[in-house]
Amino acid sequence: MRGFLIRVLVNAAALWVAGRVFDGITMTDDFWDILLVGLIFGLVNAFLKPIAKLISLPIRMVTFGLFTLVINALLLMLTAWIAPGLEVDGFWSALLGAIVISLISWALTLLLPD
Protein backbone atom coordinates (compact mmCIF):
# COMPACT_ATOMS: atom_id res chain seq x y z
CA MET A 1 0.00 0.00 0.00
CA ARG A 2 2.84 2.35 0.84
CA GLY A 3 4.49 1.74 -2.53
CA PHE A 4 1.22 2.53 -4.29
CA LEU A 5 0.90 5.84 -2.44
CA ILE A 6 4.47 6.75 -3.27
CA ARG A 7 3.78 5.96 -6.93
CA VAL A 8 0.70 8.22 -6.93
CA LEU A 9 2.71 11.03 -5.34
CA VAL A 10 5.52 10.60 -7.89
CA ASN A 11 3.01 10.70 -10.76
CA ALA A 12 1.29 13.74 -9.29
CA ALA A 13 4.59 15.58 -8.83
CA ALA A 14 5.73 14.75 -12.37
CA LEU A 15 2.43 15.89 -13.87
CA TRP A 16 2.51 19.09 -11.83
CA VAL A 17 6.04 19.90 -13.05
CA ALA A 18 5.05 19.18 -16.65
CA GLY A 19 2.14 21.56 -16.22
CA ARG A 20 4.52 24.26 -15.01
CA VAL A 21 7.13 23.69 -17.73
CA PHE A 22 4.88 23.61 -20.83
CA ASP A 23 2.19 26.08 -21.85
CA GLY A 24 0.29 23.31 -23.66
CA ILE A 25 -0.32 21.40 -20.43
CA THR A 26 -2.60 23.01 -17.88
CA MET A 27 -2.70 21.54 -14.39
CA THR A 28 -4.89 22.63 -11.51
CA ASP A 29 -3.32 24.07 -8.36
CA ASP A 30 -5.61 22.21 -5.95
CA PHE A 31 -3.64 19.57 -4.03
CA TRP A 32 -6.42 16.97 -4.03
CA ASP A 33 -7.07 17.41 -7.74
CA ILE A 34 -3.36 16.95 -8.42
CA LEU A 35 -3.44 13.71 -6.43
CA LEU A 36 -6.55 12.58 -8.31
CA VAL A 37 -4.85 13.26 -11.65
CA GLY A 38 -1.77 11.34 -10.44
CA LEU A 39 -3.99 8.42 -9.42
CA ILE A 40 -5.82 8.39 -12.76
CA PHE A 41 -2.53 8.62 -14.66
CA GLY A 42 -1.14 5.71 -12.65
CA LEU A 43 -4.21 3.58 -13.29
CA VAL A 44 -4.20 4.37 -17.02
CA ASN A 45 -0.51 3.43 -17.19
CA ALA A 46 -0.98 0.29 -15.12
CA PHE A 47 -3.84 -1.12 -17.17
CA LEU A 48 -3.47 0.24 -20.70
CA LYS A 49 0.28 0.70 -21.18
CA PRO A 50 1.14 -3.03 -21.18
CA ILE A 51 -1.59 -3.70 -23.74
CA ALA A 52 -0.48 -0.80 -25.94
CA LYS A 53 3.16 -1.88 -25.73
CA LEU A 54 2.26 -5.45 -26.69
CA ILE A 55 0.13 -4.39 -29.64
CA SER A 56 2.77 -1.96 -30.88
CA LEU A 57 5.70 -4.35 -30.47
CA PRO A 58 6.55 -4.56 -34.20
CA ILE A 59 6.65 -0.79 -34.67
CA ARG A 60 8.57 -0.34 -31.43
CA MET A 61 11.18 -2.79 -32.72
CA VAL A 62 11.49 -0.91 -36.01
CA THR A 63 11.83 2.46 -34.24
CA PHE A 64 14.21 1.05 -31.59
CA GLY A 65 11.71 1.79 -28.83
CA LEU A 66 11.07 5.42 -29.71
CA PHE A 67 7.42 4.65 -30.44
CA THR A 68 7.05 4.21 -26.68
CA LEU A 69 7.15 8.02 -26.46
CA VAL A 70 4.10 8.15 -28.72
CA ILE A 71 2.33 5.61 -26.50
CA ASN A 72 3.16 7.71 -23.42
CA ALA A 73 1.85 10.85 -25.14
CA LEU A 74 -1.41 9.12 -26.08
CA LEU A 75 -1.85 7.83 -22.52
CA LEU A 76 -1.27 11.37 -21.22
CA MET A 77 -3.93 12.66 -23.60
CA LEU A 78 -6.31 9.93 -22.42
CA THR A 79 -5.63 10.92 -18.82
CA ALA A 80 -6.39 14.55 -19.67
CA TRP A 81 -9.65 13.43 -21.24
CA ILE A 82 -10.62 11.52 -18.10
CA ALA A 83 -9.21 13.72 -15.32
CA PRO A 84 -10.93 17.00 -14.42
CA GLY A 85 -7.78 18.89 -13.37
CA LEU A 86 -5.57 18.28 -16.42
CA GLU A 87 -5.75 19.72 -19.93
CA VAL A 88 -3.41 18.93 -22.83
CA ASP A 89 -3.65 21.16 -25.91
CA GLY A 90 -2.42 18.73 -28.53
CA PHE A 91 -0.22 15.82 -29.45
CA TRP A 92 3.08 17.74 -29.44
CA SER A 93 2.39 19.15 -25.99
CA ALA A 94 1.53 15.64 -24.84
CA LEU A 95 4.72 14.25 -26.37
CA LEU A 96 6.95 16.84 -24.68
CA GLY A 97 5.00 16.44 -21.45
CA ALA A 98 5.37 12.66 -21.58
CA ILE A 99 9.14 13.04 -21.93
CA VAL A 100 9.31 15.37 -18.92
CA ILE A 101 6.97 13.16 -16.87
CA SER A 102 9.06 10.07 -17.69
CA LEU A 103 12.31 11.77 -16.71
CA ILE A 104 10.93 13.19 -13.46
CA SER A 105 9.25 9.91 -12.52
CA TRP A 106 12.47 8.04 -13.19
CA ALA A 107 14.53 10.48 -11.10
CA LEU A 108 12.08 10.48 -8.19
CA THR A 109 11.83 6.70 -8.26
CA LEU A 110 15.62 6.50 -7.91
CA LEU A 111 15.57 8.88 -4.94
CA LEU A 112 12.63 7.39 -3.07
CA PRO A 113 12.56 3.96 -1.44
CA ASP A 114 10.35 1.20 -2.81
Q: Is the pTM of this model over 0.85?
A: yes
Residue 66: domain span:
2-111
- The tens digit of pLDDT for each residue in 55-89 reads 999 999 999 989 999 999 999 999 999 998 899 99
Does residue 1 have a pLDDT over 80?
no
Domains held by the chain: number: 1
Within a 10 A sphere around the Cβ of 47, how many other Cβ atoms? 9
